[in-house]
Amino acid sequence: MLASFFRNAVLVLVLNLIVKGVYLFGIERTVQNVLPEADYGLYFSLLGLGMILQVIADGGLQLYNSRTLSGHRHLLAKYFPYFLALKTVLSGVYLLVLLGAGVWIGYRSYELGLLLLIGCGQLLNSLVLYLRSGLAGLGRYALDSTFSILDKLLMIALVGGVLLFAPERLSIGLFAGAQVLCWGVTAAGLGYALRDGLERLRPRFSRRTLLLLLRGGAPFAIAILLQAAYTRTDAVMIERLLPDGAAAAGHYAAGYRLLDAVNTVGWLLAGLLLPMYARLHARGESLTDLLRFSVQLLVGGGLVVGIAVAAYARPIVYLLYDFAEPRTATILFFLSLTFVAQCLNYAYGALLSATGYIGRMNYVFLAGIALNLCGNLWALPRYGAPGAAAVTLATQTVIALLQAGLAHRWLVLPVAAVNWLRLFVLAGLLLILPVLASGFLYVDWVVQFLLVLGAGAGLLFLFRLVDLGELRQLLRER
């Protein structure tokens, strides 16, 4: 199991670092630089609203599907037509609620049209995630990893072509429409890939079965809603509450893009972890080895990347964005440190979801929403978008620590299963490295940044948070 996780983690990392890196910084960043500053800020705010309400279209089915299939793979063919039917119904409800929420918040005409387009994209994205959970639940991790980047490959080709050959035709509406098209093609490809394991690809309606699935997915749906609420409301609040809301949301989006880039890797690894934890749990096998390996890999890697980006936040944003200013750097500083907390969330969130404790975690997520909303209402009028970034860091840290503590308590896992002392020492040394690099190395900041990353990665192996001998063994295992 551990060998399977490691090999597929490497595949996911390589694919996403290359393809999604090109997309985020070659395509999405360029789109934001080319378009008027407020356009992308409005898009980012509307996207946040769409992601918060996306749980209506998802219904918790993705996580429920992944967890259930991991322990009972024969259920995929049986329940797939009913899952599809339920998602069709929920999708219609989602679009109605999304438009209603947009009108209630104060969006009109063009903004509502863009919101509807973004909502269609989120529907297809939800379908893609659900279909990928079927692949992961069947243990087809390599194929799942390939489909995780297909939509971005298509966006690189499509939007990249517009940027190269007809940049004057680029608009935020065209960008959102291209996403809808690419997610649609990816969903069709996934349906084709799953055809052999399914007898029926058309929706099948049965009131009793649909209610059964809805009840099964409900705890996951509530968790997704609550998590999206405390991670995405900041974008909506920035755009609605600040005098220069759309522009401020654009600066927040610029910082969030780097967090999103590194978060993609953690999120994908968590997607691999969930069915593996579920299978171990269903078999009654020990979770300790997988927990130790995943936490040390995710949190150790998160510390290396997060602290390095925070240390060089100012030159990074001025390199990437034509509109960068000091607040952009401050936003990135706080959001990059948030990555460490989110890595801890990924490791323990997957564990708790796979072992049936997600319902209890909803109370923790409610606390996260309260902290995030109250923090933003206090910080936004005083500190603007950078204040929202600081509140995000505080919220994610509190949630991460609660999840880790409760996981060890509920599952009776020894705290010593993870080498926390070495992680703390690593964090301390990583805080010193940028100071030493800037004080004693008279080279360009890019070279310093790369050296800090390399030294941090070396410390991971030196402290045996990621063990070379174990890696060699995992690579040899089949």
Planar angle of CA 37, 122, 113, nearest 5 degrees: 55
pLDDT at 475 over 70: no
What pLDDT sits at residue 125?
87
Q: Which of 269, 238, 286 is nearest to 345 (CA)?
A: 269
User: For the chain, what percentages of helix, strand and coil (3-state, to nearest 5) are there?
Assistant: 85, 0, 15
Which domain, by its residues, includes 282?
2-476
pLDDT at 477 over 50: no
Q: Taking a C-beta distance cutoff of 8 angstroms, is the pair 401, 420 a contact?
A: no
Strands, E, within 349-402: which ranges? Answer: none
Residue 374 phi/psi, 5-degree rounding, is -65, -40
Domain count, the chain: 1
What pLDDT sits at residue 252?
93
pLDDT at 185 over 70: yes
pLDDT digits (tens, 9 = 90+) for 309-334: 999 999 999 999 999 999 999 999 99
* Helical axes 245-283 vs 61-71, angle rounded to 10°: 20
Decide: pTM greater than 0.85.
no
Q: Taking a C-beta distance cutoff of 8 angstroms, is the pair 213, 181 a contact?
A: no
Can you tell me the mean pLDDT for 283-306?
Answer: 89
More confident residue, 60 or 136: 60
Using the structure block, give the residue that is written with the tokens 């609203």: 49
Using the structure block, give the residue that is written with the tokens 């060890």: 408
Give the Cα separation of 382 and 379 in Å (integer): 5
Predicted confidence band of residue 138 (pLDDT cuts 50, 70, 90): low
Return the structure tokens found at 41: 């800020």
Using the structure block, give the residue that is written with the tokens 């997704």: 224
Give the Cα separation of 360 and 351 in Å (integer): 13
Q: Which of 415, 423, 385 is nearest to 298 (CA)?
A: 423
448-to-287, 353, 456 alpha-carbon distances in Å: 39, 40, 12
What pLDDT sits at residue 367?
87
Can you tell me the mean pLDDT for 225-234?
Answer: 74
Amino acid letter, residue 397: T
**Lowest-confidence pick of 42-56, 269-283, 298-312, 455-469:** 269-283
Give the Cα separation of 154 and 175 in Å (integer): 12
